[in-house]
Amino acid sequence: MEAAEFCTGGVKPMLQTAEIFGDGMVLQMAKLVPVWGTGVPGRTVQVRIRGGENPQKKEKRNGRTEEKSTTVGPDGKWNVRLDGLSPASGMTMTVTDGEDTLEYHDVAVGEVWLAGGQSNMEYLMGFDAEREQERELLRQCGELQRIRFFSCPKISWEGEEEQYDYSSYGFWRKCTAEDLDFLPAVPYYFARQLAEKFSDRFSDQEKAVFRDVPIGIVDCTWGGTRAMCWMTEEKIRESGGEAWLADYEAGLRLRDPEEEAEEYRKNPLNAPTDPFRSEFDCRVLYPGLTREEQEARMREIKEENAQSEEQGNPVIIGLCHPWRPAGLYHTMLEKIIPYAVRGVIYYQGESDAQKAELYEDMLTGLIGLWREKWGEELPFLMVQLAPFEIWYEESGERYPEIRQAQQNVADRMPKVWLASNGDAGMRYDIHPKHKRPVGYRLALLALKHVYGADIAADAPRCTGAVMKGQEIELSFSHVKEFCVKGNRINALRVYDGDRELSEDEYTAAPAEEDAVRGDTGNILKIMLNSPLKNPKVKFAQTGYYEVNLYNEEMIPALPFEAGRKIRILQDGILR
């Protein structure tokens, strides 16, 4: 698919824009909008956007034009910044230097979000458990075509896009039944919820701002990636990631890195140009493999790797591998900086569990780097890792550390919020098949914290604990009334020192209304058979669990551990 209409007699012009600019794109409203590219040094480049329809007033904008000019620098690069644009659709952008002219049609102006991370953000609607219901919805609701997606080409080395067919990537898709399979699932549900909730979560005045506004998603993801893949080498070192760099450099010493890179580039299976080309890989993603099938495949992989090692070609993360440090930062992310976005939705951390102790600093560094490169304090909406035990050789044993690191970053950094995910995991699959809950909760966070809606959006979180005789009271924020699905609260463990109490030694339930104390809807009570000398409470502190404790918006409670925090009420005094 051509990115633009070339008014040059069929010859590819010297004048170019970055690949993300194309037919059907969504530009961010009410912010400066950078437009950039390459051209002939010294020429004057003019960028003009005109026409279209205001989706709020259903009125034509043919008489309105936004225009900026600049000169191409000695390095052949140019950039302009369009002033804040109003919501619109059906516009045309023209870029010209007097010799060459590019035109982009069906341009929209609305709300744009960047989706980053690894496979659970990358995971396509073609594998989602509810894809057929959503496909039918899209057939019936043409207005959802105002939601559009740009999937960054999955390039891990320079020149890859010239060697292989990347026609499935690098252009803007509309949210249609035909294109549904190619849309990333979490961002899809996020955008769909935004589109719906813009209409019913705001006051009449606020609705007038957001009604029918186009929504754009820029998908920049790759499965299996660690945080370091999306950072510069300098930022990796600044963020305490030397151990990751050392591992990478040790791998390069196992064989000739240039020879390995050449082999990697020649293997078409290493170019992810078609997400549906492998029947087996599709089955891995949906419906997924049983544990027995995983173990059988692991044996095959070990045999294949052993043969490669015997031949002197051990499998390594080499110079062209997408998982190498800083690789995808340069080959993917850097190419869309600084495309104007409202904020970032981010789902990543599974592959950092190997060195979980580093993740808090690495995640902090990543957010800081992205904000620095975009030149603003972008809102970051993160997804806490889903419950998970084991998949192939990947283990969830250290996921509690990753989840705590995510929570710590959200607590410490401004404009960072965390979506809980404790009810959406799978014991033997790292890829949950139902992405709707995650997208919905991210949308709630955006509506509340970014767009200012007066709604409940945050997950219940334990803020304090007191033991009173044979009861432990746990206080929570972000809840008015608990909902428990089932007869017993899952994922809860109670200890006296190092001894874990059995389930018949206590019961736990939301506190009943207290006529003296008033509203107690945010209190969870643990009734003990006998007092504890050294009480501790842990909630969702294993790799896999099934949270069934929710607030009134059906948002599951966040993991917590209460040990030294538990205060004991004795003789009327808190100790």
| Model confidence band, residue 521 (pLDDT cutoffs 50, 70, 90) | confident
Give the pLDDT score at 9. 47
Of the candidates 440, 536, 524, 439, the one whose C-alpha atom is nearest the C-alpha of residue 490 is: 524
User: Which neighbouring-strand residues pair with 264?
Assistant: none
Structure tokens at 104: 């982009």
Mean pLDDT on 442-461:
96
Q: Bridge partners of 291?
A: none
Q: Write phi, then psi, for 244 (nearest 5 degrees).
A: -65, -40
pLDDT category, 63, cuts 50, 70, 90?
Answer: very low
Average pLDDT over residues 369-398: 98
Both tokens assigned to 243: 């151990």
Structural tokens at position 98: 């007097």
What's residue 484's pLDDT? Answer: 97
Phi-psi region of 557 (alpha: psi -120 to 50; beta: other; left: phi over 0): beta
Q: Which residue has the higher pLDDT, 206 or 178?
A: 178
3-state SS, 282-300, equals: HHHHCCCCCHHHHHHHHHH
Q: What would you measure as the largest C-alpha separation in the chain, in angstroms?
A: 90
- Please compute the mean of the pLDDT values over residues 33-40 and round it to a whole number: 98
Helix (H, G, I), strand (E, B) or coil at 6: strand
Please give the full DSSP string across 448-517, using - where no structure is assigned: IIIT---S--SPPEEEEEEEETTEEEEEEES-SS-EESSSS-TTEEEEETTEEPPGGGEEEEEPPPBTTT
pLDDT digits (tens, 9 = 90+) for 3-29: 455 454 455 679 999 999 999 999 999
Q: Is the pLDDT of residue 365 over 50?
A: yes
Half-sphere exposure of 134 (CA within 13 A, CB side): 26
With a pLDDT cut of 90, the percent of the chain lying above it is 86
pTM reported for the whole predicted model: 0.94
CATH numbers and ranges of domains, the chain: 461-574 (2.60.40.1220)
Q: For residue range 153-167, what is the model confidence (pLDDT) as tens digits?
A: 999 999 999 999 999
Structure tokens at 345: 């939705």
The residues pairing with 103 across neighbouring beta strands, listed in sequence order, are 5, 94
User: What is the SS3 assignment for 178?
Assistant: coil
What is residue 197's predicted lDDT score, i.e. its pLDDT?
A: 75
409-423: average pLDDT: 98
pLDDT in tens, 272-331: 999 999 999 999 999 999 999 999 999 999 999 999 999 989 999 999 999 999 999 999
Check whether 206 has a pLDDT greater than 90: no
Name the least confident of 49-53, 243-247, 367-371, 487-491: 49-53
Question: What CA–CA distance (Å, rounded) separates 257 from 239?
Answer: 26
Mean pLDDT, the chain, integer: 92
User: What is the arithmetic mean of pLDDT over 451-467?
Assistant: 94
* Residue 51 confidence (pLDDT): 87
pLDDT, greater one: 306 or 202: 306
Residue 395: partners with Cβ closer than 8 Å, 6 or more residues away: 353, 389, 543
pLDDT score for 200 = 57
Give me 24's structure tokens. Answer: 């059907």
Q: What three-state secondary structure class fits 87?
A: coil
Measured in degrees and rounded to the nearest 5, phi and psi for residue 199 equal -90, -25
List the one residue out of 454, 394, 442 whose CA is nearest residue 418.
442
Task: Give the model's pLDDT for residue 515.
Answer: 47
Tell me what pLDDT residue 501 has: 98
Number of H helices, E strands in the chain: 14, 30
pLDDT at residue number 1: 40
